[in-house]
Amino acid sequence: MSKSISIQGKNYAIPSHLKTSTKKWFKEVLQDYDLEPHHVKLLTLAAEAWDRSAEAEKAIRKFGVLYKDPGSDKPKVNPCIKVKEQAEIIFARLLRELNLDIEPPKASGRPPNLY
C-alpha cells in the first residue's frame, strides 16, 4: 500500500515497494518541485530503476562480476551487470526527461520550483 502525502494542496502517493532511502528521495523531489501527474509517473519509474540498480549491485558484490558456467567451465559475466547498466541508463534518461537539476527554471520544460 502506498503512503499518501499532501504538498501544497496536491495529494501524492509514495510507492510502498521503494526502498526507504528511495522513498525519502522521492518525497524530497515532490516537495521541491511542482510536478504534473505525468512527471510523478516518470519520477516513480526513475525511483524503481534506482532500486533495481541497487539490487543488481548487491548481487554483483555477493556473486562477483564473473562466474563459472557449469556446462562449459568457462567464465561468464554475471547477468546482473547488464541489469545494473540498464537500470542506470533508464534512471539517467528519466532524470533528464524530468529536467530537475537545471537552475534556474526554464520558461517551459522543468516544472517550477516550489520555493
- Residue 26 φ then ψ, to 5°: -55, -45
Nearest 5 degrees, angle CA 24-CA 56-CA 60?
130
Percent of the chain residues topping a pLDDT of 90: 59
pLDDT number for residue 114: 62
What is the tens place of the pLDDT at every residue in 77-86?
999 999 999 9
Domain boundaries, the chain: 3-98
pLDDT value of position 70 = 85
Give pLDDT, residue 6: 83
Res 108: pLDDT? 43
Q: Which of 21, 88, 23 is nearest to 52 (CA)?
A: 88
Taking every pair of Cα atoms in the chain, the longest distance, rounded to a whole number of angstroms, is 61
The yes-or-no verdict on residue 74 having pLDDT over 60 is yes
